[in-house]
Structures are given as C-alpha cells and as structure tokens.
C-alpha cells in the first residue's frame, strides 16, 4: 500500500544563464521542430531553417552557432546574441583499456558536474546519460546519492552529453567502423529520471528526431527506482521507449533496506503500476537487479522474484555490483550469479547477466564524480549543501518522519 507522506520538495530546475542586460536567452538546444519554427518566425526567418539548425546542432553536434554555414551571416549573429547552447567542459575522460568504455566527468555552465558513459557493444555504441546532478533516492549500493541532490538537468544539458560523445566518435577517439555514432541511449546515469520527467521526455524526443541523431524509439531506455505516479504518467504518453525498473529485491523487507523509495512506493504499488504501463504501451519491461552477496542473491530470492514477475512480459537484467568504498556491500560470486540466472530461467523468467564494463575507470553511477569531489580537485560551488537539505540519507529520513 502507498503510504501518505508529505511530498518531497521539488528539485531545482536549470535555466540558461541570463545576458548582461538581464534577458534570459532562448535555450536553442532544447527546442523541438515546431518550437524552432516559431522562434525563427519571430525573427522573420523561413520555417525550413528550423530543420537546418536542428541538423547542425544535433546530428553534427555543433556548439558554435557561427559555424552553421548554411545560414546567412546575419542570422548566425542574431542567434548568437539571442540564444544559448550549453557546452560542458570535459574535466575527466577515462577509457578502459580492456573493453573501451569511456567515462566522462563534465562540468556544466554553473560549475556543477555530471557523468556520462560511452559503451561499446557488438551492435554499436550506447550512451548512459545523467538526468540530475546527484540523486536523493538514497539507494545503498549507489555512489550518485552520497552527495545528495543538487538540481535537475535541462533537456539541453542531456543533449549536450550526447554531443560530447558524438564529437569524440566523429573525431576518431573511439570510433570503430562502421560504428561512428551513438545508436542507443539509456537514461540510467546520475539521478532519478522520472523525477525530472518533463525534461527527460523532451530529451528523448530530441534524440529521436530524423534530422537529428535519429535514434529509434526502441533504442531509447529510461530507468526509474519506482516512482509510481510518474510511471502512470509515462504510460499515458504512449511513447514506445523501453522502461527499465530498478527492482533489486524480490520483497519489501530487502528492498526497504536497499532502496528507501520502497517505503513510499512498496512492491504492492510498484508491480501493479508496471503492469498498467505494459498494458498501456504493449512494451516489454526490463527489471534491473544488482546482485549483492548475501543480501539479495540467494536461491529463495530468485524464486520470490520469479513469483513476483509471473505473467508479465519482462526481462531481468542481472548486474554484478560495482563496489563503492563507502558502502559495506560486496558483489555476488560468479557461481551465485550463474545459479541465480539459471533458476530464474527455469522458472520462466528471461534473465541475462550484464557484461561488466569500465571496472577500471569508476564506471558505476556516480563513482568518478564522488571520487573527484572527495579529492578536492573540483571545489567551487560543488561542496555546497544539497538542495532542500536532502543528502544521501535524506529521502529515508523524510520517509521515516512522514
């Protein structure tokens, strides 16, 4: 049953930095085609230029508006004066020598930092995108939540993460012909995507644009720790994306310990919401399940999980735990992992063990950012308190106080 608890304060949203005269510039990278057409119409420009600008910004990953040479010089100058394109600074770019995974630590225009991970698979490149600066979900196995939540990301800041990876691939940094572009996106980086749903929906719509990156709907995945109202709202959008639910436990007792959000939306609320989502979208669900030694990896846990998901069209993605120094949790053994996957399969639940990527470069969510901040290399505003006074344990404290 969903508990009646006081709502959490909404995360702070991102806005483009104001001009010296106080005007807020147009967030050009976040405009959908019809919005771009309307904006250009207000400048007296023809509508077809909207597609040209979107192609140069999204497909070519151009960040300097003066470089869009298909536009007249006067239009380029006007855009540069009236609009804004966020360009994150690459503070760290770490490549795993074994599997080629690249992890970026990016500094945003307000000096906050986020992570982005570029992963190489047999089908091409997949990008893991962050949706918030930090996180307040408090999951006990995750480094993103250690520093609490700073703010939401804007859709253009998510697009900017994609631009960084696309430019690297175009310039041959990690290119592996015929794969020279990002072909899949998972919004599974820092943050709870469904807590920033409007910006995330705008971002995936932009990533899907044919004149932009043209990433297919079925190659776009959004994750959630289990925000039931947001899952229901996402179902109403009827977008044929993949929803990945971070489950990580087969019962409330274990999930309460691992994921404080479960005390707000326990399994008897979350699982029916997942079924409603599937009924509305006709899409197979993915359930993420981090295997933690002695906590959620026993045979009885596998049997409980199979019973919980019975009758649902779904796939369980078993994830070897990437240990976080501040968390006293250990990954399951290879034998326990294999037995868990085999037991699920025998009970009719499709399951695979995710290939472990980037283990030598802090590729797990939030690890590189947390280690960098802890070292004092990046300071400035980054050491300030999280918004709303909510730190790594803040969500749990809020839920317990009601």
Q: Of 115, 157, 192, 195, which one is the catalytic site residue?
A: 115
CA separation for the pair 227, 80 (Å, rounded): 39
Residue 115 contacts by C-beta under 8 Å, 6 or more apart in sequence?
A: 103, 104, 105, 106, 130, 189, 190, 365, 366, 368, 369
What pLDDT, on a 0 to 100 scale, did the predictor assign at position 377?
Answer: 56
CA separation for the pair 104, 188 (Å, rounded): 14
**Cβ atoms 52, 40 nearer than 8 A:** no
CA separation for the pair 118, 102 (Å, rounded): 5
pLDDT band (50, 70, 90) for residue 311: very high
Say yes or no to pLDDT of 336 above 50.
Answer: yes
Query: Using CA atoms in the order 366, 372, 374, 378, what is the torsion angle rounded to 10 degrees?
Result: -120
Residue among 288, 291, 311, 310 at smallest CA distance from 301: 291
pLDDT digits (tens, 9 = 90+) for 209-220: 999 999 999 999
Q: Where are the domains of the chain?
A: 26-84, 89-401
CA separation for the pair 189, 244 (Å, rounded): 12
What is the mean predicted confidence (pLDDT) over 107-118? 95
Q: Of 128, 213, 274, 365, which one is the catalytic site residue?
A: 365
pLDDT digits (tens, 9 = 90+) for 145-174: 888 999 999 999 999 999 999 999 988 765
Task: State how beta strands 83-84 and 26-27 pair.
Answer: parallel
The architecture in CATH of the region 89-401 reads: Alpha-Beta Barrel (3.20)
pLDDT band (50, 70, 90) for residue 230: very high
Higher pLDDT, 2 or 298: 298
Task: State how beta strands 89-95 and 83-84 pair.
Answer: unpaired
What pLDDT, on a 0 to 100 scale, did the predictor assign at position 177?
Answer: 56
Active site residue 365: yes
Enter the DSSP assignment of 225: S
Enter the DSSP assignment of 381: G
- Give this prediction's pTM: 0.88
Active site residue 139: no
What pLDDT, on a 0 to 100 scale, did the predictor assign at position 400?
Answer: 37
CA separation for the pair 383, 99 (Å, rounded): 33
First-to-last CA distance in the chain? Answer: 15
Rg (CA), the chain: 21
What pLDDT, on a 0 to 100 scale, did the predictor assign at position 8?
Answer: 67
Higher pLDDT, 281 or 400: 281
- Alpha carbon of 69 to those of 25, 82, 219, 271: distances in Å? 22, 18, 31, 51
Residue among 293, 297, 263, 237 at smallest CA distance from 401: 263
CATH number assigned to the domain covering 26-84:
1.10.150.530
pLDDT band (50, 70, 90) for residue 389: very low
CA separation for the pair 211, 303 (Å, rounded): 47
* Mean pLDDT lowest among 52-56, 110-114, 254-258, 384-388: 384-388
What pLDDT, on a 0 to 100 scale, did the predictor assign at position 236?
Answer: 96
> Residues 335, 309, 1, 365: is their CA dihedral positive or negative?
positive
Say yes or no to pLDDT of 371 above 70.
Answer: no
pLDDT band (50, 70, 90) for residue 247: very high
């Amino acid at each position: 049953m969903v508990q009646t608890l006081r709502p959490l304060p909404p995360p702070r949203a991102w806005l483009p930095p104001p001009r010296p005269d106080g005007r807020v510039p147009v967030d050009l990278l976040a405009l959908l085609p019809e919005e771009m057409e309307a904006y250009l119409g207000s400048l007296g420009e023809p509508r077809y230029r909207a597609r040209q600008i979107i192609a140069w910004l999204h497909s070519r990953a151009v960040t300097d508006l003066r470089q869009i040479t298909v536009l007249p010089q006067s239009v380029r100058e006007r855009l540069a004066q009236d609009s804004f394109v966020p360009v994150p600074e690459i503070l760290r770019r770490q490549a795993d020598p074994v599997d080629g995974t690249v992890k970026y630590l990016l500094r945003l225009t307000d000096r906050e930092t986020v992570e982005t991970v570029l992963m190489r698979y047999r089908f091409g490149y997949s990008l893991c995108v962050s949706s918030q600066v930090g996180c307040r979900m408090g999951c006990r196995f995750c480094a993103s939540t250690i520093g609490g939540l700073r703010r939401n990301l804007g859709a253009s800041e998510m697009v900017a993460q994609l631009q960084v990876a696309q430019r690297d691939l175009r310039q041959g940094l990690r290119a592996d012909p015929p794969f020279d572009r990002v072909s899949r996106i998972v919004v599974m980086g820092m943050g709870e995507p469904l807590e920033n749903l409007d910006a995330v929906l705008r971002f995936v719509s932009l990533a899907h644009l044919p004149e932009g990156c043209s990433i297919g709907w079925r190659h776009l995945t959004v994750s959630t720790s289990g925000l039931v109202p947001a899952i229901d709202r996402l179902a109403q959008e009827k977008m044929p994306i993949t929803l990945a639910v971070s489950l990580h436990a087969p019962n409330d007792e274990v999930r309460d310990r691992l994921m404080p959000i479960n005390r707000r939306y326990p399994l008897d609320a979350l699982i029916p919401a997942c079924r409603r989502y599937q009924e509305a979208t006709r899409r197979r669900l993915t359930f993420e399940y981090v295997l933690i030694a002695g906590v959620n990896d026993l045979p009885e846990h596998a049997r409980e999980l199979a019973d919980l998901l019975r009758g649902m069209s779904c796939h369980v993605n078993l994830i070897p735990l990437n240990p976080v120094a501040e968390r006293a949790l250990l990954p399951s053994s290879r034998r326990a992992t294999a037995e868990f996957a085999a037991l699920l399969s025998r009970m009719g639940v499709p399951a695979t063990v995710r290939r472990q990527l980037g283990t030598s470069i802090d590729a797990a969510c939030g690890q590189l950012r947390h280690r960098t901040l802890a070292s004092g290399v990046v300071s400035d505003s980054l050491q300030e308190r999280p918004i709303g006074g909510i730190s790594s344990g803040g969500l749990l404290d809020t839920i317990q106080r009601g």
